[in-house]
Structure 1
Amino acid sequence: MADDENSFELHESVFRGDIRRVSQLIRNHDVAKKDKHGNTPLHLAVMLGHKECIHLLLAHSAPVKVKNCHGWSPLAEAISYGDRQTITLLLRKLKQQSRGHMEIRRPDLVKALQQMGDFYMELKWDFQSWVPLVSRILPSDICKINKRGAAIRLDTTLVDFNDMRWERGDISFLFSGDAKPSHALTVLDNRLKVYQKVRHEVCARETECELEDEVDILMSSDIVAAQMSTKQITFSRAQTGWIFREDKKEMVGKFNADFYSLNGLTIESRKRREHLSEEDLQKNKAIMESFTRGGAQPFDPNQEPIRRASLEPPQPQDVTWEEYIKAESGNPPSLARTLKCKETAKSFKATVAMSEEFPLTVDMLLSVLEIIAPFKHFAKLREFVQMKLPPGFPVKIDIPILPTVSAKITFQEFAFRDDISDGLFEIPPDYREDPNRFPDL
């Protein structure tokens, strides 16, 4: 790439809205490069409302999921700006890029699965909260994972878990590495006896209404960024005993484990609402609860849904490129709407038990977790396990899931087996397809 470390030619051209210069530079400059504030060219194009630049950058695969120094993606900035067409464009591109990434990784994941022995594994999830009384009603779950060849089956009773709401059920998640992409991922609802293919394209006409529904939700609710801060984390051996202190060792299931304390683990949460009116703020809770329940309003197929209109563009900020790029790193002048942002940080005391006897490696676990990442709590587990952990395998872990909720995960059973039935990975013949059973997948 033509960019050197201190050159931001493409950023500057986007900032100035010079589409001709952008089209010249884009062929040999890194569209994913971040400036000193963590912004990519797409961030700047969205914040400044330069639509031609947005279209050109997306046509050259500018990443939509990437975050700047404050944890905001181009999609978050588009919601703040309030142009419905841009939000829809970025949301569609985000879904395409996410599925494209999975397809790029798929051959490596399939190869990794095939190189492992076939196994059965159980994970126990215990959810806890520091909020009084909440822990009493939080769910627990035992997830069962069967792996045979390049196929994985996960059975769980926890359908969804988000913002203190959860849904119980009897759900199976099937991954078939040997199937074509459109048939590789399937979710079964064993109570309703229905299944849903996890789509890999967002081009079918029947998905357009769902996409527009999602845009309505984004435009009418808070912009939220929450992440585990792992920069300051250190591990120290957990101690036991009152007088004679010694390193804590215990059996976790069938495995000897050394216990470590995690120091410096925090979950940071930011909420923005500069794009919301007072009426929005009053309606927000009711709207979100309605969507969470699947929509309380009756659906009339002959009536066009009322869509949220674009906001008036923010007042242009009198900021030059020189003022922007010379500002203190991570503290740029405002380029769009004045931020209305609430930040919270919650420290977590946590422990992790590491066992060198566990038959699976961390790399093998990461491969399995990448496949089942559509489940939000498994995505959090994968994020945690990617850290540099003490020696061994994390057989017992405490991790934050939400600002008020943490989870204790225990790998309580594991066995290599050669008698796992092929039938476990097949859709039962009496199940019918329901393409809308799991709208988030």
Structure 2
Amino acid sequence: MPMIMAQEEGEKYPIHRCIFQGSVKTLSSLIKTYDIAEKDKQGNTPLHLAVMLGRKECVQLLLAHGAPVKVKNLAGWSPLAEAISYGDRQTISSLVRKLKQQTREQMEERRPNLVAALHQMGDFYMELKWDFQSWVPLVSRVLPSDICKIHKSGASIRMDTTLVDFNDMRWERGDISFIFNGDQKPGHSLTVLDNKAKLFQRVRHKETELEIEDEVDILMSSDIMAAQMSTKGITFSRAQTGWIFREDKREMVGAFHADFYQINGMVLESRKRREHLSEEDLQKNKAIMESLTKGSSQSFKNGEPPLRRASLNPPPESNITWDEYIIAPPGQCPLLGRNLVYKESSKSFKATVAMSPDFPLTVDMLLNVLEVITPFKHLSKLRQFVLMKLPPGFPVKIDIPILPTVTAKITFQEFAFRNDIDPELFQVPSDYFEDPMRDYDAYMIMMMVLHNASCV
């Protein structure tokens, strides 16, 4: 009976089976007629299996035919996460390159609609106030606050911020402006200004080989992280006020009437794997991360080429057969790579959101604005939150978990449609100098690596 079941299930996934059996020739013929993005019972795509089993030729063939990299199996891991665990540097580099290419292509597909939506939206000025808080005693006293100032004119957006980076309990202050000019060509649409140093740099859309290799070093010497806000069990209930006579809480948030809601069932789930790391790796990684967050790249320090992270010895060959794999119950995938060194944690948050029917901006308009500025990690969290199904109105005040120990209170404290936005705000000032040595591209890469951890 199990044999018959295995045959029946196996016939459903011919590409998965030929990868499991290591048949590149069969794969090259099947790849033309079958869906290479299909998931099996474990949620694994053919690319997942090729990576976990160390089928390098199959990996390259699948990538050449556009197999998706940003996709997760039932365990919540992407092919890139499994490649980092396996430890083959060439495979990791190939997946990183393809992930970036696919991300760029998806962004360019969305770009015309985004630019059109920005043009249709009225021009405005908006302020977002961020107050970071922690339930850990004394920590809240030292956490930063920030006011993001956002100007929008036509298809252009400018964001001014003093909080450049926020990671663990460290943050970096500055005076940074991020300018998006939607009517410019992609390679010229993003600019970062350092207003203290009076410097600017265009943010490229394509990374150099050195930047790719820097990123691979970071991934190979870091925990494999997956963090997400679980929205499955989230419900909203009206917040109450008053000791004896209870009533629904309504207050003014700035100039806007708002109804307050309790957010129930908000859970921040974080998972990490480190079966590919030694203690020495962890120490080296700490030094690499500190150097990159300070704006320096690994590449060619003192004129010498960097020492690159070497491939790991492959894990023992899996003795799991295709039949054993395919009849395993969903969520109980047999071990195909290294023994996992795994830790997970979750924290429940009590949070509130204030929804205003009077706010002039709609949630859809806000999402278009946030899509432009999500390279900033904390703003990416805001976008993830706004994507949830919220009560009626606009979220003028929100609590968002940023880290397991830190929440941010965001207040839309000012908003006004305006027809007098100065067009020079979206230009580089004439007294600013381009600084090719200041590696904002590496900085943006690091921001994307950090806030896309859940992709891995």
| Bin of the TM-score, shorter chain as denominator length | over 0.9
Q: Which residue of structure 2 lines up, in the alignment, with residue 22 of structure 1?
A: 27
> Secondary structure at the residue paired with 1:308?
coil
Q: Which residue of structure 2 lines up, in the alignment, with residue 341 of structure 1?
A: 342
Q: Which residue of structure 2 lines up, in the alignment, with residue 323 of structure 1?
A: 324
> Shift of the alpha carbon at 1:21?
2.1
Provide the C-alpha distance between the structure 2 equivalents of 1:18 and 1:336, rounded to a whole number of angstroms.
19
Which among 106, 112, 129 is matched to residue 111 of structure 2?
A: 106
Q: Which residue of structure 2 lines up, in the alignment, with residue 434 of structure 1?
A: 435
Q: Which residue of structure 2 lines up, in the alignment, with residue 351 of structure 1?
A: 352
Q: Which residue of structure 2 lines up, in the alignment, with residue 293 of structure 1?
A: 294
- The gaps in structure 2 that reach 5 residues or longer are 1-8, 445-456
TM-score between the two structures when normalised by the length of structure 1: 0.94
Provide the C-alpha distance between the structure 1 equivalents of 2:205 and 2:441, rounded to a whole number of angstroms.
14
Provide the C-alpha distance between the structure 2 equivalents of 1:228 and 1:180, rounded to a whole number of angstroms.
35
Deviation per residue, 1:93-147 (Å, 9 max, x gap): 2122222211110000001001111111111111111222221111111111111
Q: Which residue of structure 1 lines up, in the alignment, with residue 396 of structure 2?
A: 395
Q: Please tell me whether the aligned partners of residues 295 and 443 of structure 2 are also in contact (alpha carbons under 8 angstroms).
A: no
Provide the C-alpha distance between the structure 1 equivalents of 2:143 and 2:73, rounded to a whole number of angstroms.
33
Q: Which residue of structure 1 lines up, in the alignment, with residue 90 of structure 2?
A: 85
Provide the C-alpha distance between the structure 2 equivalents of 1:154 and 1:275, rounded to a whole number of angstroms.
39
TM-score between the two structures when normalised by the length of structure 2: 0.91
Provide the C-alpha distance between the structure 1 equivalents of 2:441 and 2:172, rounded to a whole number of angstroms.
12
Provide the C-alpha distance between the structure 2 equivalents of 1:300 and 1:410, rounded to a whole number of angstroms.
43
Q: Which amino acid is 2:290 matched to?
A: E
Q: 1:233 to 1:300 in 2, by over 3 A?
A: closer
Q: Which amino acid is 1:429 matched to?
A: S
Q: 1:67 to 1:297 in 2, by over 3 A?
A: closer
Q: Which residue of structure 2 lines up, in the alignment, with residue 94 of structure 1?
A: 99
Provide the C-alpha distance between the structure 1 equivalents of 2:397 and 2:431, rounded to a whole number of angstroms.
38
> Shift of the alpha carbon at 1:210?
2.0
> Shift of the alpha carbon at 1:35?
2.1
Q: Please tell me whether the aligned partners of residues 297 and 442 of structure 2 are also in contact (alpha carbons under 8 angstroms).
A: no
Q: Which residue of structure 2 lines up, in the alignment, with residue 130 of structure 1?
A: 135
Provide the C-alpha distance between the structure 1 equivalents of 2:298 and 2:365, rounded to a whole number of angstroms.
45
Deviation per residue, 1:387-420 (Å, 9 max, x gap): 1111111111111111121111111111110000
Q: How does 1:22-421 map to 2 (within 5 A)?
A: 22-202=27-207, 207-294=208-295, 300-421=301-422
> Shift of the alpha carbon at 1:320?
1.5
Provide the C-alpha distance between the structure 1 equivalents of 2:334 and 2:99, rounded to a whole number of angstroms.
27
> Secondary structure at the residue paired with 2:443?
coil
Q: 1:47 to 1:297 in 2, by over 3 A?
A: closer
> Secondary structure at the residue paired with 1:224?
strand
Provide the C-alpha distance between the structure 1 equivalents of 2:14 and 2:427, rounded to a whole number of angstroms.
53
Provide the C-alpha distance between the structure 1 equivalents of 2:173 and 2:269, rounded to a whole number of angstroms.
28
> Secondary structure at the residue paired with 2:420?
coil
Provide the C-alpha distance between the structure 1 equivalents of 2:112 and 2:285, rounded to a whole number of angstroms.
42
Q: Which amino acid is 2:238 matched to?
A: R
Aligned length: 434
Provide the C-alpha distance between the structure 2 equivalents of 1:131 and 1:36, rounded to a whole number of angstroms.
41
- The gaps in structure 1 that reach 5 residues or longer are none
Percent of paired sites with the same residue = 72
Q: Which residue of structure 1 lines up, in the alignment, with residue 454 of structure 2?
A: none
Deviation per residue, 1:161-201 (Å, 9 max, x gap): 12222111111111111101100111111112122222122
Provide the C-alpha distance between the structure 1 equivalents of 2:313 and 2:29, rounded to a whole number of angstroms.
31
Q: Which residue of structure 1 lines up, in the alignment, with residue 4 of structure 2?
A: none
Q: Which amino acid is 1:101 matched to?
A: Q
Q: 1:102 to 1:434 in 2, by over 3 A?
A: farther
- Indicate the larger mover: 36-45 or 390-399: 36-45
> Shift of the alpha carbon at 1:301?
4.9
Q: Which amino acid is 1:254 matched to?
A: A
Deviation per residue, 1:204-238 (Å, 9 max, x gap): xxx22222122112111211111111111111111
Provide the C-alpha distance between the structure 2 equivalents of 1:107 and 1:269, rounded to a whole number of angstroms.
35
CA RMSD of aligned residues (A): 2.0
> Secondary structure at the residue paired with 2:25?
helix
Provide the C-alpha distance between the structure 1 equivalents of 2:63 and 2:176, rounded to a whole number of angstroms.
36
Provide the C-alpha distance between the structure 1 equivalents of 2:219 and 2:423, rounded to a whole number of angstroms.
41
Q: 1:356 to 1:341 in 2, by over 3 A?
A: same
Q: Please tell me whether the aligned partners of residues 292 and 443 of structure 2 are also in contact (alpha carbons under 8 angstroms).
A: no
Deviation per residue, 1:149-170 (Å, 9 max, x gap): 1111111111111222211111
Provide the C-alpha distance between the structure 2 equivalents of 1:97 and 1:195, rounded to a whole number of angstroms.
28
Q: Please tell me whether the aligned partners of residues 299 and 305 of structure 2 are also in contact (alpha carbons under 8 angstroms).
A: no
Q: Which amino acid is 2:384 matched to?
A: E
